[in-house]
Structure 1
Amino acid sequence: DFLFDLKTLLSLRAALPEGSFRRAQIENALYGAHLGLCYDPAACSDDEFRDGLRAAAPLLKEQLAKKNADSAPYIGLIGHSHMDTAWLWPLTETEKKCARTYANSLNLMEEYPEYMFVQSSAYHSEMLRRHYPELFGRIQKAVAQGRYEPNGGVWVECDCNLTGGEYMVRQFLWGQRFTRRYFGYTADCFWLPDTFGYSYAIPQIMKGCGVDYFLTTKISWNDTNRPEMTTFRWQGLDGTSVFTHFNRTHIGPSPETYQELTGDGDMKDKRVSSMRLFSFGKGDGGGGPEFEMLESARRLRDLDGTARSGYTTVSAFMKKMEETSVNPSVYAGELYLELHRGTLTNQHEIKRNNRLCEIALHNLEMALVHRAVMDGEAADESPVAPMMETLLVHQFHDILPGTCIHSVHEETKKSVGDAISRANLLTRQALAGNSGRVTLYNGTSFDRADTVYIAGAHPGVKGAKTQVFRDMEGETMTAVAGLEIAPFGSAAVEESAPTEAPCPFEVGERRVVTPFAVIEFDAGGAMSSFIDRRTGRELVGGLPFNTFLMAEDVPAAWDNWDLDADIEEKFAPAGRLLSREIISCGAVELRLRCRWALSDRSAITQDIVFDAATPLVTFDTVIDWQEEHRFLKAAFDTSLICDGVRSEIQFGHIRRSNHRSTSVEKARFETCNHKYSDLSEANYGVALLNDGKYGLSVREGGMRLSLHKGGMLPDKFGDKGRHLCRYALLPHMGGFSAETVVKPAYLFNNRPVEVEDGVGVPALCRTNHPGVVIETVKPCEDRQRAYILRLYEAEGGWASVKLSFGHAVKGLSECDMLEETTARIDPDAPITFTPFKIRTFRVEY
């Protein structure tokens, strides 16, 4: 007891300014105690030693008994252990870390009745339920007592840049359903201390899942612009706002820490609130608080010279802060982390598999709904659950960004790859029939007649143009153009006699003429000129299109995480053209196969595909990467003049500056995009589409897509190997819209599902407005003769929409994102959407 008293006062003395009366009082007490202490137990008897302690103790207690004024700031305390689901250890080790850490906090609760603890990830509780049921039972009792708070809202502390919109919803859906089922608790806080940036879409998703408060510590890591606010309202893409607090985490309570938490450097908006939340305990690999920390917390509760403090749940703290805050500012936009920008690109296969798995699960849910409606049975989500859990777990904020050790990366590739294969198999089984024909299924809410690819040789298809070729794997494929497939519907591939169709392409040594463009190639294989034939406009405004740029990538810190700002000055053209040949030229497309050497170790093979029916130019790419500490981009420097770039995020797009005029703009030299980014003038634009390349840099008219990062820590093998990706250039007449950009991006990513002997299905549902996208068709979580539709407005405008269905509808209800009914809806009535609004409906059949 004496030791903790002494440590507390020594720490408080160090935190107080020299010359303060309070510091002088403490120094007098410490000096008085010092005079009576025996520092060498060997030189005095045990009784003399203890007598010295007894004499000194009251001097310390007198100082510790001095209370604070009412005006002192208040620090809410909550024990916590930031637990990485995987990082420098595998998932299996996390189970043990969770057991040790949470058992430790339960034991501390027995010794310290005031102590409280928050655990944020529902999946960690599920680990204990499966593997440590007795410990899980103890946690349930502590939750019921109000001392153990399962408040984080999500399944895992997920990445918020890369995770798709629907799967952000599922993180909350799985998290909330678990805590409700096993703890009788609904989370009201989104707790994300260590994620690498926060999407503009998050506030609306949070509110739709019953979560009112957002907390993070990570923005304090910014390398350029320090946050100006600690407590504020964060307004999202659609106008929804959530009360937000930048809390702090630290090893343990101390006067120095309290001074830092409430000081001018860390808490600039003191007029808004004098409250600060402080979660303490050892983290990353678990551990949590130790008894020494709790002893310090006891002594600091109301001690003159430092902030007042006390234990609280996160929920109670946020409610109190919201009630008492004075005119909190409103911040609208993404919470961009000015650090760890390389996590948008690192570990390519993990990121591409994430996109492919999101699409595969989307298509499986659509197929299960089709089958249930056809059979008149209840739609069942349970077949999806194992793959869904795999995906959600591997969207953790170190796994999906690719910042773990090698074994975790390899496990992720295998687990998510297996989930993709399993989902695709179940989709084909759900859509199997006896048609005797190959059937294609459209997993998007758009009518499509774009070029699609089916396995094998099909020289004639009724109602379509075809072209047979061999892909880069040597497989025979058929490009089929003009086959119409309704939204969430199907089309049979009916074989017919081959028909001759004129080839609309002209190919010279370095010149290609398509129905839409005239392209000149330079000696290195890049496009030095790209003239749109519809306007006569030259689109190249800097480096030739598809110039490969490479730079040394040795960040000052955080190898697999970071891109330093000076990398933009280091990029130089890379890629020595080895060969170019015509692989296929016909009525559907022109396919040029090019090979480049990036170095004496690494190479790129690419099929550049010019479409006959659209201006789309696709780059099917194989990267043989053997580099270390190098970064690779593909440059598309356009001649467009506009004041912003639109990049897709979850359930919409964000418009960012394409200039570098301010320190904020300069710091955002690498940003996140999902399926597309677009530069548009009033009546013309150029979009860049991708199938899993999330990193992008934009400056003026130039868009440069990040292709590969060669960091070597903590994965000492880097990201070497053979990697596949696709990206595309899309010049479009008219400015940005769903028709010009959003629809092509969806079609580019979600190719039709091909099923041998598939059953024919009508369009399951559709809207009459192209700007309102049906993002999700899924069975209800609780097995019902009903399914869920989730729609959003994609252009940033107001829309009135009517839904139509390919089956009889017995009832339509609106619900929240947790699938709880909020209102009955007339199926024939129009539904309105404000900009970027997400709405969810239950369709009874």
Structure 2
Amino acid sequence: MHDDRIVTEDRIARALRDRLLPAVHGPTEPLRVSAWDAPGEPVPFADALAADFVPARVGGRWGTPWGTTWFRFDATVPRDWAGRRVEALVDLGFDAATPGFQAEGLAFTLAGVPIKGVQPRTTHVPVDTAPGRPVSFLVEAAANPDVGGDWTFVPTGMGDTATAPPGPLYSLRRAELAVWNPTVWELVQDVRVMTGLMRQLDVREPRRHDLLRSLERMLDRLDPDDVIGTAPDARSELTAALGRPAHPSAHRIVAVGHAHIDSAWLWPVRETIRKVARTVANVLHLMHDDPGFVFACPQAQHYQWMKDHYPSIFAELRKRVEAGQFVPVGGMWVESDTNMPGGEALARQFVTGKRFFIEELGVDPEEVWLPDSFGYSAALPQLVKLAGSRWFLSQKLSWNEVDRMPHHTFRWEGIDGTRIFTHFPPVETYNAELSGAELAHASRTYAEHGRGSLSLVPFGWGDGGGGPTREMLAAAARTADLEGSPRVTVASPREFFEAAQAEYPDAPVWRGELYLEMHRGTYTSQARTKQGNRRSEHLLREAELWCTTAAVAGRADYPYDALERIWKVVLLNQFHDILPGSSIAWVHREAEQAYERVEAELAAIIETAQLALVEPGAGEVTFNASPYPRAGLAALGGGRPARAGERAVEVRADGDGYLLDNGTIRVRVDIRGLVTSIVDAASGREAVRRGGSANRLQVHRDSPNRWDAWDVDEHYLRTVVDLLDVDRIAVVDRGVSISRSFGDSAVSQRITLCAGGPGAAGRTLEFETVVDWYESEKFLKACFELDVHAEQYASETQFGHVVRPTHRNTSWDAAKFETCVHRWVHVGETGYGAALVNDSTYGQDVSRTSGADPTTTTQVRLSLLRSPRFPDPVTDHGRHTFRYALVAGAGIADAVAAGYAANLPLRSVAGRGDVEPIVRVHNPAIVVESVKLAEDRSGEVVLRLYEAYGGRAGGRVEVASPIVRAMETDLLEREVPATGLVASDRTGFAVSLRPFQVLTVRLGLLR
């Protein structure tokens, strides 16, 4: 019996491959082929239509890397094909095993109307013409190289046009008209579903043998010499087996059409625009044939591209949105990284994305759709709720290397206590094809059996693979109610979430960040991209603040259009393969150029607003965009002489090193350039671990197991070189400078002490580190060994901070050997702590160490640079500047203030007079994160505040202009019932905030 079963399965597989699939199309008629190679970047359709096409042939080579070839295909439909469905079949040289990572095409009518995409799993183009009539269409073929190759991640030059090799990549394999035989195609789908299900069933289950013998009888009825003629009789042998209903307790699956498309990754942004067009054209074509097909599409940016570049596609898309088939989800501008964007930027992902969906499509998505981002900030649940959304979906944590998430359906609780209903599809892919293996996997792994019975499966080829196919829809139809299979229903995400939440309202709670146990290197890779993001976020804060102040004062018009355009640039570059540094060189070069333009434009906007606020005349007016007064601390590296009440810094040689003293703290730097002591002058408390040091640069070998730019694997910790050799050390103003060389690289540092005086500024030691970096597979860290007994540490995240353990008691704790930080990290014990602030880095590790005494101390290390080989073999080669500072004796409040000061430099413009702050807050725990004019351009002022310390906070907010009305709103500036706004009058309003609460207040001011 065993051998007989194997023989029968082999017979089925061969019949499918050699008999049925070849008979789906036929007879055929060759297409005449001509071609034109577009010079340089892609061109509009009109340019291609007017070009000089030359004869081409099947088998001919085409397509230099990243080039575009336009093919024209012509034929006449044979008269004897009357009454039959005709399709054109075009194979550009595809590898069907890797849809989305190779050549792709978009077919157009001669009138320039997109028809559908041409990709490895969807090579057909519909032909809508009568027999005897001519057929003509164009295909814009993109010669995208497979940058990843076989995913061994050997360095490649394919990531940029400047380094890609010459010569064509592809051969045109097929170009012909063909009759599509629907009965044979349906039989193929029957066989695929039945064999897929059969292979998931145990050999002892009767159902498996029922399927096997039904397929065997089908083959007996199928005549290999007349497949088309005998297909109906062969299908009839499968009717009974396919008609047996699923078990009443079978797992239920909501299948949602989807095509995950990275806004940039192993291709540039310009190619993503075309990938989206090809995919959406395919989806719209399927919807024409199947009115029950539902497709979920996130990323408002992608819709904007269709509106701008493919208006006919966007017009049809809009109709399908109205019909409920094409479903906008996510509500964000792009599927952004959520670890590194700042608080206001993450809020603007929702504000900008949802505004587009509401204004352009009349839809307010309630599902946050982030299947592929690299872990999820604990600040996100509150922002999801404040954006008017209810549900969250991701799949990425199924990639965890060690710990498996215990739930697929749960309530996720953020740092402020907000909970949102969350689902992780147990199918564990966002590119499903609804195979028997995938459906069985979803049912087997679903963690909520006995409490819930419903999961979601996103199906469709992503990243330019074409999205869902007609074969996937056929699989869904056959598994709607099929014995041995989960029940599959094609429906919208909303329908899934409403049903799942109704079924499981008391789902368990998961508190805190959703930490991905891999891709930890993305906090550091491509430092210039990360610095550009950080700088742009803070420049936007300044621009909106001063432009609002000038507009309210009647001194200048608010630059709505410019700020909206710049925000969209910044938001796009926060996509989860751009900001994390995991894209090809081309992408990061364009991101860096975009940040340079953003910085120049915002600097001009800021200066224009500030000049409008001052009176002409001799003198200088200083502007502070930080929410805190600058008692002493300038921006990092800013440097200035001591002011009244402060003590200047004394620097002197001291034995085997140098002593920096400002009367508040004394700092010792040894001849190796290491900080070996930071002592509080009043209490004598030492901040540096005895026998340890701060500012020790360390280089690790960094060769990840799998994903170069993405991953830092724990074994890197076992190989480290301390950079102790000094080329030169010298005294400079307020400190010392050190120069070192190592490998093919060099580093210079300035260690300077701020002027002495009360407050955190007088206890701040600054570091400016300039690195000329030319390493490969190395990891550079800055290490601070601190004499602090810390059980946990606090890292700033959006609108607050997250607390993580310094120990490794459990596998969950041990997995967090590299974590994300924004502007500051704080370690402390009762009565004493230290903060390390930065102006541009995100990666860190914090651990417990043994001191010279039998006590436990804390080591904090900032991650500065990596040098992965793939996908950019020269990642971050060149010059980099990092600024960070250690605040000794710091509490959380000091860390918050110092973090803002490090990222918001004081600005001065020529003029005289005082500039009245537009808003003042009398409780330092309440931070004003954003001051802007309303998105609806009404001229009303919008303030975004939050509680920063992690406790209850009440206080009064005073406003410079008389208040006509004040109301609490959601992120989209729509009025909501008050939770934090207590009362208001003409001069201000009172607030009462819970820990880490974000509050948006909209003010009508008397002008």
TM-score normalised by structure 1 residue count:
0.91
2:719 to 551, 559, 570: 570
1:27 to 207, 212, 237: 212
1:731 to 888, 891, 900: 888
Displacement after TM superposition at 1:354 (Å): 0.6
* Correspondences of 1:56-67 after superposition (within 5 Å): 56-67=234-245
Displacement after TM superposition at 1:378 (Å): 7.1
1:638 and 2:782 equivalent? no
Displacement after TM superposition at 1:480 (Å): 4.8
**Residue of structure 2 in register with 1:767 after alignment:** 921
Write the distance in 2 (CA, Å) between the matches of 1:382 and 1:759.
Answer: 30
- Provide, for residues 222-244 of structure 1, a one-character-per-residue CA deviation record: whole Å limited to 9, x for no partner: 11111111000000111110000
**Residue of structure 1 in register with 2:301 after alignment:** 123
* Correspondences of 1:120-519 after superposition (within 5 Å): 120-247=298-425, 248-263=429-444, 266-325=445-504, 327-375=506-554, 379=558, 381-432=560-611, 433=614, 434-452=616-634, 479-482=640-643, 504-508=650-654, 510-514=657-661, 515-519=663-667
Write the distance in 1 (CA, Å) between the matches of 2:994 and 2:790.
Answer: 25
SS of aligned partner of 2:277: helix
Displacement after TM superposition at 1:274 (Å): 1.1
One-letter identity of the residue aligned with 1:80: H
SS of aligned partner of 2:502: helix
**Residue of structure 2 in register with 1:612 after alignment:** 755
Give the conservation status (yes or no) of the 8 Å contact 2:432–2:438: no
Displacement after TM superposition at 1:51 (Å): 5.7
1:832 and 2:986 equivalent? no
SS of aligned partner of 1:15: coil
1:596 to 740, 752, 758: 740
Displacement after TM superposition at 1:482 (Å): 4.3
Give the conservation status (yes or no) of the 8 Å contact 2:556–2:609: no
**Residue of structure 2 in register with 1:670 after alignment:** 818
- Provide, for residues 476-520 of structure 1, a one-character-per-residue CA deviation record: whole Å limited to 9, x for no partner: x86155499xxxxxxxxxxxxxxx986544443503141233333
The 1:169/1:65 distance shift into structure 2, 3 A limit, reads same
One-letter identity of the residue aligned with 2:499: K
Displacement after TM superposition at 1:679 (Å): 0.5
Give the conservation status (yes or no) of the 8 Å contact 1:674–1:694: yes
* Correspondences of 1:664-813 after superposition (within 5 Å): 664-700=812-848, 701-732=858-889, 736-738=891-893, 740-757=894-911, 760-813=914-967
- Provide, for residues 594-621 of structure 1, a one-character-per-residue CA deviation record: whole Å limited to 9, x for no partner: 111122x111111111112211011011
**Residue of structure 2 in register with 1:624 after alignment:** 772
Write the distance in 1 (CA, Å) between the matches of 2:517 and 2:865.
Answer: 20
One-letter identity of the residue aligned with 1:336: Y
The 1:596/1:111 distance shift into structure 2, 3 A limit, reads same
Give the conservation status (yes or no) of the 8 Å contact 2:378–2:512: yes
Give the conservation status (yes or no) of the 8 Å contact 1:641–1:681: yes
**Residue of structure 2 in register with 1:495 after alignment:** none
Write the distance in 1 (CA, Å) between the matches of 2:898 and 2:581.
Answer: 28
Write the distance in 2 (CA, Å) between the matches of 1:14 and 1:231.
Answer: 28
**Residue of structure 2 in register with 1:540 after alignment:** 688
Displacement after TM superposition at 1:25 (Å): 1.1
SS of aligned partner of 2:260: coil
Write the distance in 2 (CA, Å) between the matches of 1:712 and 1:9.
Answer: 44
SS of aligned partner of 1:436: strand
Write the distance in 1 (CA, Å) between the matches of 2:936 and 2:334.
Answer: 22
Displacement after TM superposition at 1:452 (Å): 3.2
Write the distance in 2 (CA, Å) between the matches of 1:794 and 1:422.
Answer: 30
2:710 to 546, 561, 565: 561
Write the distance in 2 (CA, Å) between the matches of 1:819 and 1:565.
Answer: 44
SS of aligned partner of 1:124: helix
1:108 and 2:286 equivalent? yes
Identity of aligned residues (%): 33
Give the conservation status (yes or no) of the 8 Å contact 1:511–1:518: no
Give the conservation status (yes or no) of the 8 Å contact 1:817–1:840: yes
Give the conservation status (yes or no) of the 8 Å contact 2:642–2:648: no
Greater alpha carbon shift after TM alignment, 628-637 vs 778-787: 778-787
- Provide, for residues 194-218 of structure 1, a one-character-per-residue CA deviation record: whole Å limited to 9, x for no partner: 1001000000001001011000010
The 1:777/1:482 distance shift into structure 2, 3 A limit, reads farther
Greater RCO (CA < 8 Å, at least 6 residues apart) = 1
Give the conservation status (yes or no) of the 8 Å contact 2:649–2:754: no
Give the conservation status (yes or no) of the 8 Å contact 1:254–1:300: no
Displacement after TM superposition at 1:823 (Å): 5.4
Displacement after TM superposition at 1:572 (Å): 2.6
2:673 to 517, 520, 525: 525
Displacement after TM superposition at 1:379 (Å): 4.8
Structure 1, gaps ≥5 residues long: 455-470, 472-476, 485-499, 585-589
The 1:240/1:502 distance shift into structure 2, 3 A limit, reads closer
Displacement after TM superposition at 1:555 (Å): 0.3
Write the distance in 1 (CA, Å) between the matches of 2:909 and 2:459.
Answer: 54
The 1:306/1:758 distance shift into structure 2, 3 A limit, reads farther
Write the distance in 2 (CA, Å) between the matches of 1:30 and 1:623.
Answer: 67
Give the conservation status (yes or no) of the 8 Å contact 2:946–2:996: yes
Write the distance in 1 (CA, Å) between the matches of 2:966 and 2:489.
Answer: 48
State the superposition RMSD in angstroms. Answer: 2.0
One-letter identity of the residue aligned with 1:836: F
Give the conservation status (yes or no) of the 8 Å contact 1:254–1:297: no
One-letter identity of the residue aligned with 2:723: A
- Provide, for residues 56-106 of structure 1, a one-character-per-residue CA deviation record: whole Å limited to 9, x for no partner: 322211100111122111110111110111111111111111111001000
SS of aligned partner of 2:694: coil
The 1:513/1:574 distance shift into structure 2, 3 A limit, reads closer
The 1:29/1:716 distance shift into structure 2, 3 A limit, reads same
Displacement after TM superposition at 1:346 (Å): 0.5
Write the distance in 2 (CA, Å) between the matches of 1:426 and 1:176.
Answer: 26
Write the distance in 2 (CA, Å) between the matches of 1:336 and 1:405.
Answer: 25
**Residue of structure 2 in register with 1:843 after alignment:** 1003
Give the conservation status (yes or no) of the 8 Å contact 1:620–1:727: yes
Write the distance in 2 (CA, Å) between the matches of 1:98 and 1:251.
Answer: 18
Write the distance in 2 (CA, Å) between the matches of 1:276 and 1:642.
Answer: 42
One-letter identity of the residue aligned with 2:268: P
One-letter identity of the residue aligned with 2:200: A
Give the conservation status (yes or no) of the 8 Å contact 1:507–1:513: no
Give the conservation status (yes or no) of the 8 Å contact 1:5–1:61: no
Write the distance in 1 (CA, Å) between the matches of 2:922 and 2:593.
Answer: 41
Write the distance in 1 (CA, Å) between the matches of 2:880 and 2:706.
Answer: 26
1:99 and 2:277 equivalent? yes
Write the distance in 2 (CA, Å) between the matches of 1:502 and 1:792.
Answer: 35
Displacement after TM superposition at 1:635 (Å): 0.6
Flag the structure with larger Rg.
Answer: 2
SS of aligned partner of 2:237: helix
Give the conservation status (yes or no) of the 8 Å contact 1:228–1:269: no
Give the conservation status (yes or no) of the 8 Å contact 1:195–1:218: yes
**Residue of structure 1 in register with 2:975 after alignment:** 821
Write the distance in 1 (CA, Å) between the matches of 2:599 and 2:310.
Answer: 30
- Provide, for residues 549-580 of structure 1, a one-character-per-residue CA deviation record: whole Å limited to 9, x for no partner: 11111101110010001111222312421111
- Provide, for residues 252-284 of structure 1, a one-character-per-residue CA deviation record: whole Å limited to 9, x for no partner: 012211100111xx3222233111100111113
